Structure 1
Amino acid sequence: MARALVVIDVQESFRQRSSWRTISNPAIAGAVGSLVDYARSVGDLVVWVLHAEPETGSEFDPARGFVRFIEPLAPAAGEPVLTKTSHNAFTTTSLQQILTTRGIGELLIAGIRTEQCCETTARLAADLGYEVTFVTDATATNPIAHRDAPADQTVDELLADPRTLPASAVIERTEYALAGRFAVIRTVAEVTAQRQAGASATGYILPP
């Protein structure tokens, strides 16, 4: 079955926010880069997704110049690059059309943020009939404020609030919610080992 890696919102916008210092994996670009390199090596399609909020003046407003991939991540020639304005990567893009045209039936999901755009994309992909693998250590997120916390809460106040849900707990809850329902949970190493095991048994790299 043909497979695609969907890289979601690993963009400079997040690094420009004060909340970046609370990100669960500051080296997310490296983790995603390893997955991208491997996907390319076995012939998987890599689809790149950016999030934009035009005319908002936020870090996600394209006019500010931050809606770009965190270096050294960069699409290769022929790899689709999509810009979304919804949480999931399907609703406001041509992602499904691209996947259908390429005969893709299986997706790897990676990116920022674990429980938001990545999880939402995984859920919708499963509903659309794709086999989804959620590569948890190639995702990242931040602590989440309590629903009753002030909207203007600073990062220091967020971290000091005992009601704040730590990023590790957010990731754990996403894994529990997706596993067995919407996706298989894997790490980058597990994804790599799965394909390598198939290759060693046959003497060549398995096609996607």
Structure 2
Amino acid sequence: MSEALVVIDVQESFRQRPGWRLTANPAVAERAALLAEHTRARGGLVCWVLHSEPGSGTVFDPALGHVRLMDGLTPAEGEPLLTKTAHNAFTTTNLQQILVSRGIRRLTVCGIRTEQCCETTARLASDLGYDVTFVTDATTTDPIPHRDAPAGRTPEEILADPRTLGTDEIIARTEYALAGRFAAIRGVAELTGVGVG
């Protein structure tokens, strides 16, 4: 089977951020795990990707120990675990080499953040000629403050600002941007046949 699932940044780093409690889909790890099992059962490859910012002192600094998959996610033998330092999963990893060497032409994308690393990876994958499926309900994101909003605000202050872009709006915008151009939009239940709550 010439297909792969790319699980992007479903890592402990995000749970360490104050805004995690505002995330659109706190069950993202469980849904990624369902997709991984489904992909394996079909003979496909699961590629795991983590985001790292060495020396940053943030939750993405590997020295702090949070740059690891969330609990419940474990690569099977032979599944690559890649670490990126760019938004997309290709530029700073050997993902493209892995996919080409295995003759993979179809990619399914899930992970964190919907509009950032996941969407950017889906767009680039499409430009590279892959047939891309974007599983929106196996992604998640947080509200985005307005570009002029002061830094360091609490999650409650971010939500109270009428200029904040809410998660529903972000997810809808990503679907509009990708559908029919860069990716097919699908759901976990549609792909796996397993209902999700």
Normalising by the smaller structure, the TM-score range is: over 0.9
Tell me the equivalent position of 1:48: 48
Distance in 2 (CA, whole Å) between partners of 1:133 and 1:82 is: 20
Tell me the amino acid that sits aligned with residue 167 of structure 1: T
Matches of 1:126 and 1:23 in 2, distance apart? Answer: 27
Deviation at 1:152, TM superposition (A): 2.1
* Cα shift at 1:161: 0.5
Q: Percent identity?
A: 67
Over residues 141-174 of structure 1, what are the superposed CA-to-partner deviations in whole Å (9 max), with x where a residue is unaligned?
Answer: 0011111111222211101111111111100100
Whether the 8 Å contact between 2:34 and 2:192 is mirrored in structure 1 is: no
- Asked whether 1:162 is paired with 2:162, we answer yes
Residues 104-132 of structure 1 show CA distances to partners (whole Å, capped at 9, x for unaligned) of 00000000000000000000000000000
Mean Cα displacement is larger for which, 66-75 or 152-161?
152-161
Q: CA deviation at 1:192?
A: 2.2
Deviation per residue, 1:61-102 (Å, 9 max, x gap): 000000000011110110011000000000000000000000
| TM-score, structure 2 as length reference | 0.96
Count of aligned positions: 193
Structure 2: how far apart are the matches of 1:40 and 1:128? 24
Structure 2: distance between partners of 1:114 and 1:88: 12
User: Which aligned segments of 4 or more residues in structure 1 are displaced greater than 4 angstroms?
Assistant: none
State whether structure 2 residue 68 is matched by structure 1 residue 68: yes
**AA at the equivalent of 2:25:** N
The yes-or-no answer on 1:100 pairing with 2:100 is yes
Q: Distance in 1 between matches of 2:113 and 2:189?
A: 20
- C-alpha separation between the residues in 1 aligned to 2:152 and 2:138? 30
Q: Which runs of 5 or more structure 2 residues have no equivalent in the other structure? A: none
For normalisation by structure 1, the TM-score amounts to 0.91
Task: Compare CA radii of gyration and give the structure with the larger one.
Answer: 1
Q: Determine if contact 2:8/2:48 at 8 Å carries over to the other structure.
A: yes
Indicate the residue corresponding to 1:30 in structure 2.
30
Q: In 2, distance between residues paired with 1:24 and 1:81? A: 25
Gaps of 5+ in 1: 194-208
Shift of 1:22: 0.5
1:109-188, aligned counterparts within 5 Å?
109-188=109-188
**What is the distance in 2 between the residues matched to 1:174 and 1:149?**
22
CA distance in 2, matches of 1:191, 1:134: 11
- Asked if structure 1 preserves the Cα contact closer than 8 Å seen for 2:12 and 2:67, the reply is yes
How far is 1:190 from its partner?
A: 1.3
Give 2:80's aligned residue: 80
Deviates more, 1:76-85 or 1:146-155: 146-155
Q: 1: CA distance between counterparts of 2:152 and 2:19?
A: 13
Letter in 2 for 1:66: H
How big is the alpha-carbon RMSD for the aligned residues of Structure 1 and Structure 2? 0.8
Q: Distance between the aligned counterparts of 2:58 and 2:115, measured in 1?
A: 21
